Structure 1
C-alpha cells in the first residue's frame, strides 16, 4: 500500500509523558531518573539506545533536553559542543552512527572526560555498538554502560494508545479508523498522534463523527493539497 508523506503542522513537544512505552518500560524508568537528576551508579551514567527508525530514540533524547544543564549533540553539531563543560550534567548524543570522522574523535574524548570529571551521557544509534561502522575505540565506549534496544510499538499497541488518546480528547473513533490509518499513513507514533489531532479538528469543522469515510476524505484532501504545492 502506498505510504503518504504529509507535512503535519503543530506537532506536540516531545517529552517522556507522551512517549508510549510499550516494551520499553525499564528504559523509560531509567531515563526518568536521569531527567529528575537522581544519583546513579557509574554503570547507569552511560546509556546507549538503539533501534529501527521511528522506534522513538530521538524522541527520548529530545525529551531529556529540557534544562540548561543538558546538551543535545549529534552529526551536525560543532566539535566544540563535544567538549566537557562543568555546567552540563547530561549529554545527549543522537544518531551517533552518522558521526563524521572528526566528530567520532570528539565523541571518544567526551566519553573519557565525562568519566573523569563527572556527568552522564545517553546516546542513540541504529544498531548495537558492536555492529556500528565507527572507530573501534568509540564502539568500545558506547558499550561501556547500559545498552537498551528501543522496541517499536506493535500495531495492537499503537491502536490501544491512539484509542486512549482519542478518549482523553473526548471523541470516539468508529471501528476500522485506526487499522486503516496505521496501514495508509506513516507508522511512527509522533506522526500518527499528529494525524489524530488533525482528524479531531476536521471532525469539528465538518460537524461529522470520526468514521472511516471521514478519515479517507481527510487523507485525500491532504494529499491533493500537498500535490498542489509541488506543482510548478
Structure 2
C-alpha cells in the first residue's frame, strides 16, 4: 500500500479529467495505438508503450483514458504529468511498481536530467519485473527527446512506439462533432468548421467553447446553427 500513499500525497494540480475517456477519443489513423493502450490499461498486451505528438494530438487524453479504464476494471493506476513534478524529487517514483498501470506524461520535461533519468530507468526495470504496464507520452520522438542515459533510451525502445500527427482542421472538426454527439448535441460540418476556425489556441479552448454552446443550446432549446453560435460566443 506504500505506493498508494505516495500517489495520494503527490502535490498535483491536474487530476484525471472526467471527459478523458476512450469513448471521447477520435482515432483517425491511430486505431492500433488506441487498441494497444486499451489492452495495457487492463494489464494485458505490451508492458511498455511510448506515444508522442504535438499539442492537441491526444496523447494526454489517451494516458488519462487508460487510467479511467483501469479503475473501471478494479485496477489501481496513476497518471503523472511530469511537467508538474519536475520541481520535486524523483523519489515520487518509489514503490510505484506495486501499481498495475502507470501513465507518465510529458517525459520530455525530465529528459537530460541525470537524477530523473536514473529514477525512471530503475522504475522501468521494477515495473517490468513486477509485470505492470507503463504508458509514456512526450512531444517528440525517442530519438529527438534528448534522453542522455543510453540504458533508459534502450528500455523505452523495447516496447511499442507510436507517433501521432499534429491535429489538422478536419481532425479538429471530427473531434468536436464526436464530443458534441456524446453530449447529445449534434453539430453539422458547417458549424464544426466555423467553430474550429474561430477558436484560437489548443484543443482545450475548443472544448471550453463546446461546453458553453451545450449549455446555451439546452437553455434556449435551440439547435446549433452558425448564427446561434455567433450570437452565443459574440464572434
| TM bucket, shorter chain | 0.7 to 0.9
Q: 2:137: which partner in 1?
A: 124
Unaligned runs of 5+ in 2: 1-16
Count of residues in Structure 1 that have an aligned counterpart in Structure 2: 207
- Aligned residue for 2:84, secondary structure, equals coil
Please report the RMSD computed on the Cα atoms of aligned residues, expressed in angstroms: 2.7
Contact between 2:24 and 2:178, CA under 8 Å: does it hold in 1? no
Among residues 51, 63, 79, which one is paired with 1:72 in the alignment? 79
The alignment's TM-score, normalised by the length of structure 1, stands at: 0.76
Are residues 1:218 and 2:227 paired? no
Are residues 1:111 and 2:124 paired? yes
Q: 1:23: which partner in 2?
A: 29
Q: 1:92: which partner in 2?
A: 103
Structure of higher CA gyration radius: 1
Contact between 2:97 and 2:127, CA under 8 Å: does it hold in 1? no
CA distance 1:108–1:86, change in 2 (3 Å): closer
Aligned equivalents of 2:78, 2:181: Cα separation in 1:
36
Higher relative contact order (CA 8 A, sep 6+): 1
TM-superposed CA distance for 1:178, in Å, is 1.3
The alignment's TM-score, normalised by the length of structure 2, stands at: 0.75
Aligned equivalents of 1:197, 1:76: Cα separation in 2:
26
Which whole-Å deviations, capped at 9, do the CAs of 1:176-209 have from their partners, x for residues lacking one? 3211111111465554344223213213334544
CA distance 1:93–1:12, change in 2 (3 Å): closer
Q: 1:54: which partner in 2?
A: 56
Farther off after superposition, 158-167 or 91-100: 158-167
Aligned equivalents of 2:178, 2:25: Cα separation in 1:
13
Aligned equivalents of 1:192, 1:93: Cα separation in 2:
25
